[in-house]
Homo-oligomer: A and B are copies of this chain.
Amino acid sequence: MNQQQIQLKSRPDGWPTTETFDFKEVEIEEPKQGEVSVKTLYLSVDPYMRGRMSDAKSYVEPFEVGKPLNGGIVAEVVKSESDQLAVGDVVTGALDWQEYNTVSAESVRKLNLHGASPSTALGVLGMPGLTAYFGMYHIGEPQKGETVVVSGAAGAVGSIAGQLAKRKGARVVGIVGSKEKEDYIKSLGFDEAVNYKDESFASALKEACPDGIDVYFENVGGDVSDQVWPLLNTFARVPVCGAISAYNLEQGEQDIGARVQGFLVKSRVKMQGFLVGDFRDHYRDAYAELSGIVQSGELTFEETIHQGLDKVPDAFLGLFKGENIGKQLVQVSESK
């Protein structure tokens, strides 16, 4: 039996286009001893994947041209040759972008959902939620009464990061790109929302932070963040989670803007890039905490779910156009 697989057709220079993705028909493999076949339920598109489409040295191996793209997927076991997993089990792992994956049972993790939607394993209870947790709690370390600013605040990571800062008693200001997102993050409990597309963004941000900024959770980079540096308080912390505005620069094009060194010295700021994987030793505790506050309803999350494998390229591109609220997902098939 055959299925659709999404391959990297060519490395994008600048924005990904239709030339970036290729839909190919490939065979569904039968599981061998110790393997399972799983059917993709939800496929995660994440900004970091753009980096893997280039061949630049990075923290993960680049995707290969002519090979399937790959990322976080939630899937259901449909055939099992392993005593560790049974048909009907729902699992998650880094899997190829296709309808079915046949892999070693050990390469995926069985989900214990406790009533949560399986999609949460790709969002609030998965990589984005943990990223928010470690960036905010291990690097940002917001204190009661401090001002925390989160950019990309309506996104999968930012929306959680802001709520986690609120839990520590901080005043939280979110930077977003639409009125709808302003309303959304206010509904999550953010104290203020500032729209970077407004002409008055710089002054609005300043007004929203009358006591300066103690933690800046950086997701976007670019002109937006250039306005943040002058507002940083003494001993401010800047967890740098991403810089999505710069991911689609063309070859040779540089990310030029405000140099930060002067601000870092003046206010003795710590700015630190991180990846969720750097905190692997703390996954268990973080997951337990996030899981508890999701179940109790203290942490709110949203998902923007597209339907069908053919929508994956659009869903991916949508990330860079600011289309999604919360976690951007593609539902590829339904659980039986």
Query: Measuring CB to CB, which residues of chain A are less than 8 angstroms from any residue of chain B?
Result: 51, 58-59, 218, 221-222, 225, 234, 240-243, 246, 254-275, 278
B269 touching A272, Cβ below 8 Å: yes
B234 touching A259, Cβ below 8 Å: no
Of B58, B241, B260, B268, the contact of A274 (CB 8 Å cutoff): B268
B256 touching A266, Cβ below 8 Å: no
Ordered by A's residue number, 10 sampled pairs between the chains whose C-beta atoms are within 8 Å are A59-B266, A243-B259, A254-B258, A256-B256, A256-B258, A264-B273, A265-B273, A266-B273, A270-B271, A271-B271
Of B262, B270, B273, the contact of A243 (CB 8 Å cutoff): B262
Given A59-B268, A264-B240, are A221 and B274 neighbors across the interface (CB < 8 Å)?
no
Contacts of A258 in B (CB 8 A): 254-256, 259
Contacts of A240 in B (CB 8 A): 261, 264-265
Contacts of A264 in B (CB 8 A): 240, 271-273
Contacts of A267 in B (CB 8 A): 59, 273
- Most chain B CB within 10 A, of A59, A257, A263, A274, is at A257
B273 touching A272, Cβ below 8 Å: no
Contacts of A269 in B (CB 8 A): 272-273
Of B218, B242, B265, the contact of A275 (CB 8 Å cutoff): B265
State the main secondary structure of chain A at its contact with B: mixed
Given contacts A218-B261, A240-B261, A242-B265, 8 further A-B contacts (CB under 8 A): A51-B266, A58-B266, A59-B266, A225-B259, A242-B261, A255-B258, A261-B273, A270-B271
A255 touching B246, Cβ below 8 Å: no
Contacts of A262 in B (CB 8 A): 221, 243, 246, 255
B261 touching A268, Cβ below 8 Å: no
- Bound: A267/B278 CA distance, A: 11
